[in-house]
Amino acid sequence: MKKIEWGIISLTLFLTSCSSDDATPKDTTSTLNLTFSGLEDLGPNYRYEGWVLVDGAPVSTGVFSVNANGILSQSNFEVPTDALEMATKFILTIEPNPDPDSNPSAQKYLAGDFNQDSAAVSTDVAPAVGDFSMVSGDFFLRTPTDEAEGDPNNGNDQNGVWFGQPGTPPTASLNLPDLPEGWIYEGWVVGDSGPLSTGRFSNGAMMDENAGLASSFGGTEKLGPMLPGEDFFNNVPAGETFPLDIRGRTVVITVEPDPDNSPTPFALKPLAATAGTDTAPSFYAFNLNLGSFPMGTATR
């Protein structure tokens, strides 16, 4: 009798132990949902990648692309549960495709701090590209690269645009934040067939990267003032007519990835305006254009 009782007890303990061992384990991953507006198609050579910051270290949440309509190729991502629960920040970067490096690139585009289960993601949360809420600046129409010595009145100042205020010498007036590694400014004029670059620059009080190389300048020795800008005379792109009359055209300052994913303007266009009909000494103020900036939410 005692042997039977002990047998029953042993069987009960065995079944209880098996039941405990076979219990469903806790999930090792959890879902991160991303919603964005304003992201652009990066083309075949680049992708977006999400990251969560855990104890100061980045953990990838996955890679995705965006089509011409701004629709994400994927919006839900499985992330290690422990990492997602401990994450303090979400960061979106631009990465090469294929990507030989498992670390985040320097092109940290958007970021947001987690507040309980969500993070509002934008450009103005560090380490993203920057806060552009206070940017401003001016531009004027003038063609200093073909002016005769001592005679600035060459009669064709409508064919050049420079960023600043005219004078002798012209003065810088772009109020733009310093950009982190991986980003650079670029000026544009919208021509007859599309946007035309005036050159890339990091400092609004210095010549842009076109200085000394600008194929459209009217003079071979005169590079223009110590400002970003361009005169449009030579080496006409297809679909355009040079000299290019800037009057009435849209003038834009963009923030571009560096290296750049496209020869066309990037989505970040903090300053934009329409040139008037008067050349220097008149000048025109840029308008704040933050409606071009993407934003989104990361929800865990």
63-93 pLDDT tens trace: 999 999 999 999 999 999 999 999 999 999 9
pLDDT, residue 211, reads: 76
- CA quadruple 184, 185, 188, 194: dihedral sign: positive
Q: Taking phi first (over 0 means left), then psi (-120 to 50 degrees means alpha), and beta for anything else, what does residue 137 get?
A: left
Do 172 and 103 fall into the same domain?
no
Does a structural domain hold residue 111?
Answer: yes
Do 99 and 206 fall into the same domain?
no
Ranges under pLDDT 50 in the chain: 1-25
Does a structural domain hold residue 267?
Answer: yes
Do 69 and 181 fall into the same domain?
no
Cβ atoms < 10 Å from Cβ of 1: 5
pLDDT, residue 59, reads: 98
Does a structural domain hold residue 257?
Answer: yes
Does a structural domain hold residue 13?
Answer: no
Q: Where is the domain boundary, 109, 128, 147?
A: 128
Do 216 and 161 fall into the same domain?
yes
Our count of domains for the chain comes to 2
pTM exceeding the 0.85 threshold for the entire prediction: yes
Do 188 and 264 fall into the same domain?
yes
Do 286 and 138 fall into the same domain?
yes
Q: Are 184 and 202 in contact (CB under 8 A)?
A: yes
Do 200 and 285 fall into the same domain?
yes
pLDDT, tens digit (0-9, with 9 covering 90-100), for 21-46: 444 445 699 999 999 999 999 999 99
Do 81 and 141 fall into the same domain?
no
pLDDT, residue 2, reads: 40
Does a structural domain hold residue 9?
Answer: no
Q: Where is the domain boundary, 88, 111, 128?
A: 128
pLDDT, residue 29, reads: 96
Does a structural domain hold residue 8?
Answer: no
Domain with 100, as residue range(s), is 29-128
pLDDT, residue 22, reads: 47
